Each structure stands twice: as C-alpha cells, then as structure tokens.
Amino acid sequence: MNKTAAAKEKKTREPLFHIVKKSGIVWWKAWLIRIAAVIAALMVVAVITLVMTGQNPLEMYKAMLDGAVGNSTRTWNLLQDTALLLLVALAVTPAFKMRFWNIGAQGQVLAGVLATTACLRYFTDKLPTPLLFVVMILCAILAGAVWAVIPSIFKAYLNTNETLFTLMMNYIAINLVAFFCFRWSKNSGNDVIGLINRKSKVGWLPEIGGNKFLLIVLTVAVLTVVSFIYLKYSKHGYELSVVGESENTARYIGINVKSVVIRTVILSGAICGLAGFLLVSGVHHTMTTEVEGGRGFTAIIVSWMAHFNPFYMILTSFLIVFMEKGAIQVASSKNLQLDDNFSSIVIGIIILFIIGCEFFINYKIKFKSKNKEEEALKQ
Amino acid sequence: MDRIPAIELKNITKTFGKIVANHNVSLSVNRGEILAILGENGSGKTTLMNMISGIYFPDSGHILIDGEEVVIKSPKDSFDYGVGMIHQHFKLVDVLSAAENIVLGLKGKYNLKEASAEVSRIASQYGFEIDPAKKIYEMSVSEKQTVEIIKVLYRGADILILDEPTAVLTPQETSKLFAILRRMRDDGKAIVIITHKLHEVLSLSDRVAVLRKGEYICTLETKDATEASLTEAMVGKKVALNIDRAEPKDPEDRLVIKDLDCVNREGAKVLDDVTFTARSGEILGIAGIAGSGQRELLEAIAGLQHVQSGEIVYNDPKTGKVENLRDKTPMQIRQLGVRLSFVPEDRLGMGLVGNMDIIDNMMLRSYRKGKSAFLQRKEPRDLANEIIKSLEVVTPSASTPVRRLSGGNVQKVLVGREIASTPTVLMAAYPVRGLDINSSYMIYNLLNQQKENGVAVIFVGEDLDVLLELCDRILVIGSGKVTGLVNARTATKEEIGLLMTKSSAENEEGGANNE
Ligand SMILES: Nc1ncnc2c1ncn2[C@@H]1O[C@H](COP(=O)(O)OP(=O)(O)OP(=O)(O)O)[C@@H](O)[C@H]1O
Ligand SMILES: [Mg+2]
C-alpha cells in the first residue's frame, strides 16, 4: 500500500476551499451576481485597455455609450436591432428546448428575405398595398417554415443529423440569395439590387407617428410575450419540453414524437421567415447576402444565455447589440486609436464574464479554514 | 475493538440547501468485515457514501482511513486511498468493451491485452464470470455490475462500497454476488453495502449501521439482529409487515392476451406465444428471471412495443365493448377509453421527466384534458400535494424537480400518479425496486386497494416471497415463453423457481422435449 501512503501524505492538508452546488438561489441575488459580473468585466477591460493600448478606458466606455445611445436615431437603431435579434432568438428557442439543434436560422431568415423580395418585385404593381403585405408576410413565413421543415422531416423519419443538415441548408439559402441578387440586379454585372420601390415606398413597413422603428419593436414585444406564454402555459409548449427531456417518456404518455418535432421546427422556421420579412420590408428594402447579419448564430447565444426564457432574452439580446453598436463607435472614434479587433476583444471579455458568472449562481465556494475560525470564535 | 478501522466517519454533516441529508453521522468499518447500511428512502445513505467516494464534500466532520484523517476532494482522491464505489446508476460507456471500460480514464499507457489478462485474473480469483471483450450494450444489468466491480478492483481498491447492488439482480445473481463479496471479505477487504432487503442484510453482513432521517441511530451486530429489530431501528416504531390478501370479488376477464409474439431490435424472439388473461379484482403476478420478456410484454400491452402476431383484447367493463389493442399507439388506446396505467421499470427514463417538478409530472397524464390550448396547472398541483401527503413523499415542495428526490420518493410520485387516473388495468414493473420496507408495504397496500376497487392488476416482481403473499395467480415466464400459471395461495417458492428456469433448461438440452 505504498501508493496509498504517498497519497495520504499529499492530501491530509485541508483544501483551501471546496465547491458546493447551490440548491436554489433567490432571484435578486442571482441578478446581483450578474450585475457584479458586468462591473468586474468592465474593470478588467479597463485594465487591459490601459496596459495594452495606453488608451484611456473611460474614453473608450464613453465612445461605447455614445455609439449605442448617443442620439435618438442611435437609440432607436439599438432598439430595432435588439428586437430583430430577439425575434430570431425567439425563433430558435422552441427547437432548442426540444433538443433539436437547429443552427439553420440563418438560412431560414434568408428564405424569408428571398420570398419577401420576390413578392415585392413581382406583385408591387399587381396587388393593392394591404394585400401585398399579407402576401409578403405569408410567403416569408412559408419560406422560412419550408426551409426548416425539410431537415426536420429527415430527422423524424430517417434520424439524420439535424445540425449538419440545417447548416447545409444555410449554404443553399445564401447561394440562392446570391443567385437572385445577380438575376434581379438592374444592370446585370454588379449584383446589386438597390432599394426596391425607392420613390413610391410601396411595400415598405409603415411608420407609426413618424417613427420607422416603432412597428418592429412593438411586433417583437408582442411576440416575446406570446412566446413566453406558448412555452410555459400551452399544451404544445409542454409537449415539446417533454420530448426534449425524454423521448421515451413522451412516447409512454402517447405524444406523437415525430409530429411534435416537425410542428415545433415549422414554428421555428416560420418565425425566422417573419424576421426575414421585417429585415427587407422594415429595414433594408433590398436584398443582399448580408442582410441577415449573422443573427442566426448570435441568436443561439442569446437564447442559451437566457436559459430559453423569452423575457431574459430581452436582456441578453439588448446587451449583445448594445456592445456591438458601442464597439463600432469605438473602432471609428477619432479620439481613440483602437480598431474593431480590439472592440471584439472587449465584447468577448464581457460575454465571458457574463457566462462565467452563472457558475457563481449555481455553485458556491466554501472556504474551509474560515469556517473553522468562525466556529472557534463562536465558542 | 483494538483494530484500526479501514474507514471511520466522525460527526459528518452534509446539507443541500435547507435539506439536511446527514447530521452528525459517525460510523466505522473494519478490514475483513461487511458492514450493511440500512435506512428508509431519503435517510442519507447514498449521500454519506458519496462523501467517501469524493462526489460530495462534507460540510463538517472528519473522515479517517486506517486511522489517519484524510481529505477527499474528488473521486480520484478516493481511488488513491483505495476506496471504490459501485453506484446505484452505472457509469459505463455503452459502445466500449468491458476491458476498455475498465482501463478508461487510467493514467499512462495501457496494453489492452495485458489489461484483459489482469481482468481475467481478478475474475478467477473471486469467481466473477466476465468476457473482457464483450461490449457493454450487449450486457445484462448483472454483467454491467460485474464490470463496475472489477473496474474498482483493477484500480487496487481494498475498500468497496456498493449502493443497492442487489436492487437489479435476480435471486440467483444475488447469491453469486454475495459469494464473491464473502470471498473478498475473507481476503481482508472492507466492504460496505447498502440494501433495503432485510434478509440480505441478515445473511451477508457482520454488522449493520442504521440511519434514520439523516441521523445515525445505532450499529447492531448482525448475529443479534432480526428482521423485526432492524425494522424497528430503521423506522423508529414497530411496524406490521404483512399483506392482507382479499379474495377476488366477481372477477371478469379484463385483458385477454392470445399467442403474442414479439421480436426485439436485433431480431431475437423476446415473446413467444404468450397467452394469459388478467381479471378484474385480482392481482396477477408475473415471475421470471430478469430479462425474460417481462418488459416487452408490458410495453406491448401499453402500445410501446411492436407485436409480430397475436391479440391483446380488452373488455370494457362499462360499455361491454371488446377492443383489440394490438398495434395501437398509447394515444389510440386512450382514445378508445381504455384506462390503462403503467408503472414502467425505468422510472426517470420513461415514467417521469427528471428535470420537471412534481406538478408538471402529474400533468403528463392529464394535460390533454379539455379543449383549451393551454395547460391547467391547478388540478395537477392539487393532485401533487395530495400524493405528497397521502404517500408521505419526502420533498421540499411540489415544485421540486423529481430528479432531486430519493429513489423511493420518485417511485411514490410515479405510482401515485398512475393510480390517480382511476385505471381499469394497472401494470407495475418492479414497483418496489429500491424502496425501503415501509414504502414497499405502502405500495403493496396501494396495489391491494386497486384490486379491491375492481382493477385488473398486473404485477411484475422479483421477490418470490412477496409474489406469493400478494398475488392471486402467478404467471411464470422463461425466455419469453409462458412456463406455468399457478395459484399463489397454494404454490411454493420451489415450484415457481423450477418453472422460471424450465424453458432455459430445455434450451440447453437442445429444446427437444416438452414433457
Ligand atoms: N444533489 C442533491 N440536491 C438536493 N438534495 C439532495 C441531493 N442528493 C440528495 N438529496 C436529498 O438528501 C436526502 C438524502 O438522500 P439520499 O439519496 O442520500 O438518500 P438514500 O438514503 O440513499 O435514499 P434511497 O434509499 O431512496 O436511495 C434526500 O432527502 C434527498 O432528497
Ligand atoms: Mg440511495
């Protein structure tokens, strides 16, 4: 037993601390920890900025704030982009909750973009405006849903890997969009479609009280509440959680697993399609391969960070968009000699802290020696 | 006692939030000794052992190994002290072979051939039967357990902790395991075993430590203990351990199974011409060696297993209609108005959702009720609270995830839910597996009540004494065939034991004669 003896010598010392899983935490404490994490991240970033670049970190934070909420247009832009990211996050959530690893939101959004653009091109003159909107919305939703349902059918009936499949569907969508950009560009050769109905603005999402951002923000706000209710209080939402947790249990209580999978993924795709419609009709009024803006992937982070809770997603999507906007300003500010690579480092550090702080929400660290001292004091 | 104990625990306390799983527990086990740990469900046995094996860290208290205080921070530390634990739930990699699983996670290079040879040597030393090259997914539960035990022996463990190892074994497998454990004890190893079966405690252990609600109660010398004294120490009061068996009241044929054939995914025949009738107001026991087709039989009836041929006929007591349930999905069966309840063997994998709370688990059966697209949580909440109260489920609240409950309490939640839907047929597969004496009798009583309410109860059990005491008739199956149907009031254990092995014995002889 030499081995054991050696081990003993090594390990009779009390560990400095040990990690204990918490059995639950009051919500406000959890938020306190999260806020503390953001503050800690800002401080770490400040030090790094100072040491690495010699720039004034306060100056940098000012630029960030300025970029995000510096004037009312920027603030509204921030809100609109938050809403759009949130919408895609709402779309991926039901599928992820069901453990269907749909990373094809990008493709599904682009399908919606393509459908909307096609409607604008072919129906502007043929349909009265209200009907045009109905057709655009329906086509976008349908396109997104179709883009999602194909992998889900293969998953349900042939058990193919949905992650790879949805990824491939992304590439197809991107290239389809590129192809139609080429086809529909006015002077073929430069592949740029340009603003559609630039003069008449037909098929452009209407402004509310002169504010062109408000309608998108309101739509997404409503959908957030609806999503929350759907996931938590509807029978469908319950079924998809059961399928996600255990397919065997789902089958045991008589849930038709295949149809739940397909139904849920259609829902995901449909919301993505709607996001595609909003991007074209409400924001860009044109189609490029870039309009999706990477939201399909960022949305996954938004959804996970919020533990699939739509209300928390408001915060996580806001945070990410806020930092992105700030980072752009930092990179372009004349007072600072920082480029967008550095902004990305900043964003990375802050997100790392926020994800990392979940550890302190779920676990607590107990310092052994301290407890002993306390005990001794008590006696 | 002048010997230095292999393990000594002093004033160990462990809490999970508000739950006190262990409070000031002190006990010890010597080398060359088997210590049994006894306690009701949720009394903190597993938690206590997990602190020795490095899964949890005590809030306070001391652990001494060979008289020296140690600090066990991780399972690796625990291994280094020569402690090996076989958990309630196995931790093996399915697609790897036995030998690969055994060397998995070991530092440095290893030679699989040498490892296999060493495995075979350990096996022959203690009398295990194992094929090092066999893949885990091809193994029976008992074979998997053998792999787990050899794994810790291979790593040089001389203190063995087994958490309810017999819960999943047949009587034959259990006695084999016990022979091995005795050999290890005689070899000077210290062994701790957790089990709910008192006769096992009495036949195997040298001393018994009793826990109750997280507190250490006492340690008894096994030779001075009886079933009654152990139960009393465990529960804290005298308990009557008997089952009242009423005569069936006007039994009617409720479920008629005819010539059922069924093959599994690999194409092997798992049910072969199974024919029997389950009657209302009666408990039909199903006895057989584990894996003889019991699971497939119940799953076929529940609509979860595809059937090759045969009939599953249900006679509706209300309408008098006759329905064939064969190849119907669980949903279609319910739509026919058949109130079939099923307590499956795999509680958290099939009957319940571990990450959902008790209320949402209650809802699994009832959420479809009503036309609304939305859930109704009031009724399930009331039901959850009622079950917690009437079945004495130990839980912080109805909104605790089921996965956090101890094994016995998980089962109470499941059985409670299945009974709550007022079934006409109730199937239960090993419903008392892992349950303490008190909870087991509570489940038996519940089954009896169902029977008296006119339910056709099908009870798949492993303890022949219980089957004989609880059931009205016992159907014996062996290798997917019905090998006998006996009257439980007159049959003997030997008779059933013989029937259980009949078909497999025939197979060994070439399956020629049929008496
Ligand atoms: N990880 C955990 N988080 C919260 N509570 C826990 C955890 N593990 C155990 N408990 C609680 O601690 C108590 C003791 O549980 P433990 O599993 O040790 O009981 P047990 O004696 O092994 O029971 P059983 O015979 O049912 O296996 C129970 O009330 C249980 O709910
Ligand atoms: Mg246990």
Q: What is the reported pLDDT for A10?
A: 46
Q: How far apart are the first and last CA of chain A?
A: 40
Contacts of A205 (CB under 8 A, 6+ apart): A212, A215, A216, A278, A281, A282
A254-264 pLDDT, tens digit each: 999 999 999 99
Q: Whole-number mean pLDDT of chain B?
A: 88
A254 and B17: CB-CB below 8 Å? no
Report the residue from A15, A24, A238 with minimal CB separation from B375: A238
Q: What is the reported pLDDT for B261?
A: 93
Best interface-test mutation with A: which of B13, B335, B350, B371 has the largest number of A CBs within 10 A?
B350
Average pLDDT rounded to a whole number, residues B335-343: 92
Q: What is the reported pLDDT for B75?
A: 87
Q: How far, in Å, CA of B273 to CA of B159, rounded?
A: 48
Q: Is A307 on the interface with B (CB under 8 A)?
A: no
The correct answer on CATH 3.40.50.300 for the domain covering B253-339+423-514 is yes
Average pLDDT rounded to a whole number, residues B71-94: 87
Q: How far, in Å, CA of A73 to CA of A62, rounded?
A: 17
B465-481 pLDDT, tens digit each: 899 999 999 999 988 89
Average pLDDT rounded to a whole number, residues B382-404: 91
Q: What is the reported pLDDT for A340?
A: 76
Q: What is the reported pLDDT for A55?
A: 83
Report the DSSP beta bridge partners of residue B215.
Answer: B23, B212
Report the residue from A3, A24, A246 with minimal CB separation from B17: A24
* ipTM here: 0.82
Q: What is the reported pLDDT for A4?
A: 47
Average pLDDT rounded to a whole number, residues B208-215: 93
The residue with tokens 């740990």 is B37
Give, in degrees to the nearest 5, the angle at Cα A215 between A213 and A216: 70
Q: Which one, of B428, B199, B425, lies nearest residue B412 by Cα?
A: B428
* Parts of chain A with a pLDDT under 70: 1-18, 21-24, 187-189, 366-379
Q: What is the reported pLDDT for B4?
A: 86
Chain B residues with CB-CB distance to A8 below 8 A: 65, 68, 70, 81
Chain A residues with CB-CB distance to B76 below 8 A: none
> Mind giving me the DSSP string for A363-378?
EEEEEHHHHHHHHHHH
Q: How far, in Å, CA of B443 to CA of A123, rounded?
A: 69
CATH 3.40.50.300 in chain B, residues? 7-235, 253-339+423-514
Report the residue from A233, A256, A371 with minimal CB separation from B374: A233
Q: What is the reported pLDDT for A11?
A: 46
Domains of chain A and any CATH numbers: 20-55+338-379 (no CATH), 76-337 (1.10.3470)
Chain A residues with CB-CB distance to B265 below 8 A: none
Ligand 1 neighbourhood includes B46 CB (under 6 angstroms): yes
B278-292 pLDDT, tens digit each: 999 999 999 988 778
* Helices within B216-325 (DSSP H only): 227-235, 294-302
* Helices within chain A (DSSP H only): 2-11, 27-53, 57-69, 72-97, 105-123, 129-158, 162-184, 214-233, 235-245, 247-252, 257-277, 295-305, 310-332, 340-362, 368-378
A18 and B81: CB-CB below 8 Å? no
Average pLDDT rounded to a whole number, residues B419-425: 92
Q: What is the reported pLDDT for B511?
A: 37
Ligand 1 neighbourhood includes B19 CB (under 6 angstroms): yes
Judged against a pLDDT cut of 50, whether residue B509 lies above it is answered with no
Q: How far, in Å, CA of A345 to CA of A45, rounded?
A: 9
Tokens of A255: 């849930």
Report the DSSP beta bridge partners of residue B60.
Answer: B13
Average pLDDT rounded to a whole number, residues B304-316: 92
How many contacts (CB atoms, under 8 Å) link A and B? Answer: 104
φ/ψ of B496, rounded to 5, equals -70, -45
B9-22 pLDDT, tens digit each: 999 999 887 788 99
Shortest-distance Cα residue to atom 12 of ligand 1: B21
Q: What is the reported pLDDT for A23?
A: 62
**pLDDT greater at residue B438 or residue B192:** B192
Q: How far, in Å, CA of B157 to CA of B82, rounded?
A: 4
Q: What is the reported pLDDT for B74?
A: 86
Chain A residues with CB-CB distance to B364 below 8 A: 242, 249, 253
Q: What is the reported pLDDT for B163?
A: 92
B109-125 pLDDT, tens digit each: 677 888 888 888 888 88
Shortest-distance Cα residue to atom 24 of ligand 1: B41
Q: Which residues surround ligand 2, an ion (CB under 5 A)?
A: B 46
Judged against a pLDDT cut of 60, whether residue B486 lies above it is answered with yes
Ligand 1 neighbourhood includes B407 CB (under 6 angstroms): yes
Ligand 1 atom, smallest distance to B43 CA:
21
A329-360 pLDDT, tens digit each: 888 877 777 777 888 888 888 888 988 888 88
CATH of B7-235, one of 3.90.1150.10, 2.90.10.10, 3.30.379.10, 3.40.50.300: 3.40.50.300
